[in-house]
Amino acid sequence: MSVADFQPVIGLEVHAQLLTRSKIFCGCSTEFGARPNAHTCAVCLGMPGALPVLNEKVVEYAVRVGRALECRINPVSIWARKNYFYPDLPKGYQISQYDQPLCEHGGLEIDGEDGPRRIRILRIHLEEDAGKNVHDPGGGDSLVDLNRSGVPLVEIVSEPDLRSSSEAAEYLKALRDVLVYLGVNDGNLEEGSFRCDANVSVMRKGSTQYGTRVELKNINSFRFVQKAIDYEIGRQVELIESGGKVTLETRLFDPVRGETRSMRSKEEAHDYRYFPEPDLPPLRIPAGFVERIERELPELPRAKLHRFTASYGLPAYDAKILVGDRPLADLFEQVQAVYRGPAKKLSNWFLGELLRLMKEEVREVGALRFSPAQFAALLQMVDSGELSNNAAKDVFAEMFRTGRDPREIAQEKGLLQTQDTGAVGAAVDAVLAANPGEVEKYRAGKKQVFGFLVGQVMKAMKGKGNPALVNAALKTKLGD
């Protein structure tokens, strides 16, 4: 027996920050990186007598997520208190949702190992984030920073539909893309605005009875998700094969050692004593609210991917890269709308020159200095023969740097290829006259010489000769 004889069963719980400007239950800013406790008030500090007031924007964002993930939006959902003691939790309870969440029963299509699969989503609920404990590295006091306290989160819980660590990673990426497309999350795992816990179990292949699950915490990058799950699958299989039993517990992933270790057992598990939050009335979604949000939903990554391959005829590889960054995909469509040439040609420019230069300098599409029309004009100059491909790269680099017009740059740099048949004819005549031996060889049947002659003409024209015109003139003069 080995890992190959077992079927992993995985479900993910994702916590994603909603990018509202203020917190979920008070007016404090959600800005990241401020001085500790700068963004706090009586409410998010848990002062006596302070009461929560719901930020409506949060509901709008959550409904966006819910509908994008094909969930039912419950017309009435209930706020609940999750009670536990921790210094970063100022009220001693977290306001969350429990048995009546805002969204239920959705799904997300991903590229599974054997083709597209729909991963079912059990529920999505709203809650507030806790603060952060900062431990003095000098071994002194522990300090509490409550800037994050009250930052709005959605928790997105999948059904245990994932069957491998790579599917889990694929799901996580697809989910992140959707949230970023919706403009409700920045997809940043490292800064903690997108966090993931995984429930992992294994069962013998062919079995329908799920094994005992283990909850993995502290998975803070896409790479770690796969590593943590693979480690855990291996650990569980080994345990079962050596006659042991998997126990229901929470384990922490240690990214340095690449292993998981027990955090708390079932017996030590918290009893959160959930009960309906008496300080907040039930969340009621007004009639027409969901429909309005739906109308405003953007095209989602999956749909865009299909469209990019179907209507532009792009290879899946190209489409995936373009669609992976919504502004990039939008720019592609804007340029293509003006360019109207072969989409694959434009895609090559995007995946080649554009992304290369963006990596070096401007990292965001929004900060690019040139317009879609300028980009399209550059490509049209290449197609019409006015610019060689190499010259176009020079012009593009300059356009990328300055935002100046490509034609202006080409003229200034003297890169425009001449369209003047007289000038080409004169240059061809001069080259033929200067190389009588080569002309003789060509006429004797040594056709390879043709390339040499083209090169000589181009050289004489200092690279501005239009290759098509040069070829045609040479062939005529050589009597072909």
Partner 1 sequence: MGPTDLSMLELGRKLGSGELSSVEAVRACLARVDRLDGRVKAFLRVDREGALAQAEAADRRRTKGKRAGPLDGVPVGLKDLFLTEGLPTTAGSRSLESFVAPYDGTAVKLLRAAGTPILGKLNMDEFAMGSSTENSAFFPTRNPWNLETSPGGSSGGSAAAVAARMVFGALGTDTGGSIRQPAALTGTVGLKPTYGRVSRFGVVAFASSLDQVGPMTRDVPDCAALLQTIAVYDPADSTSAPVKAPDYLAEIEGGVKGMKLGLPREYLELPGMDPEVRAAVEAATRALEKMGAQLVPVSLPHTKYALATYYLIAPAEASSNLARYDGVRYGLRVEGKNLLAMYGRTRDQGFGLEVKRRIMLGTYALSAGYYDAYYLKAQKVRTLIKQDFVDAFRTVDAVISPTSPTAAFRIGEKVSDPLAMYLNDVFTLPCNLAGLPGLSLPCGLTRGNLPIGLQILGKPWDEARVLRIARAFEREHDFHRRSPPLGAA
List contacts with partner 1 (CB under 8 A). Answer: 42, 45-54, 81, 83, 85, 87, 90-93, 142, 144, 271, 273-275, 278-281
Nearer to partner 1, 190 or 271 (CB): 271
Q: Output the smallest distance, CB 216 to partner 1, in A.
A: 23
Report in angstroms how near the CB of residue 36 gets to partner 1 at its nearest. Answer: 13
CA atoms within 13 A of residue 295's CA, in its CB half-sphere: 4
Query: Taking the complex as a whole, how short is the minimal distance between the CB of residue 322 and partner 1, in angstroms?
Result: 45
Q: Which is nearer to partner 1, 149 or 220 (CB)?
A: 149
CA pair distance 165, 231, nearest whole angstrom: 10
Task: Give residue 73's identity as a one-letter amino acid code.
Answer: I
Question: C-beta of 245: minimal distance to partner 1 in Å?
Answer: 23
Which tokens sit at 336? Answer: 């293509």
Nearest to 90 by CA among 36, 135, 147, 23: 147
> How far apart are CB 251 and partner 1 at their closest, in Å?
22
Q: Give the nearest distance from C-beta 247 to partner 1 in angstroms.
A: 19
Q: How many CB atoms lie within 10 A of CB 102?
A: 25
- The answer to whether 423 touches 466, Cβ cutoff 8 Å, is no
Q: Classify residue 8 as exposed, middle or buried by CB count within 10 Å of its CB (0-12, 13-18, 19+).
A: buried
Of residues 86 and 452, the one with the C-beta less far from partner 1: 86
Output 64 or 91, the one with its CB closest to partner 1.
91
Pairwise CA distance, residues 389 & 383, whole Å: 9
Distances 201 to 163, 251, 377 between C-alpha atoms, Å: 10, 13, 56
- How near is the Cβ of 89 to partner 1 at its closest, in Å? 9
Choose between 11 and 90: whose C-beta lies nearer to partner 1: 90
Q: Which is nearer to partner 1, 51 or 310 (CB)?
A: 51
DSSP secondary structure code for residue 364 in this structure? S
Beta carbon of residue 70, minimum distance to partner 1 (angstroms, whole number): 30
Six token digits for residue 211 = 């094994």
Give the nearer residue to partner 1 in terms of CB position, either 47 or 310: 47
Q: How many residues in the chain? A: 480
Spatial distance between the Cα atoms of 358 and 361, rounded to a whole number of angstroms: 5
> Phi/psi at 122 (nearest 5 deg)?
-75, -50
- Give the C-alpha separation, 428 to 456, whole Å: 9
What span, in angstroms and rounded, lies between the C-alpha atoms of 384 and 396?
16
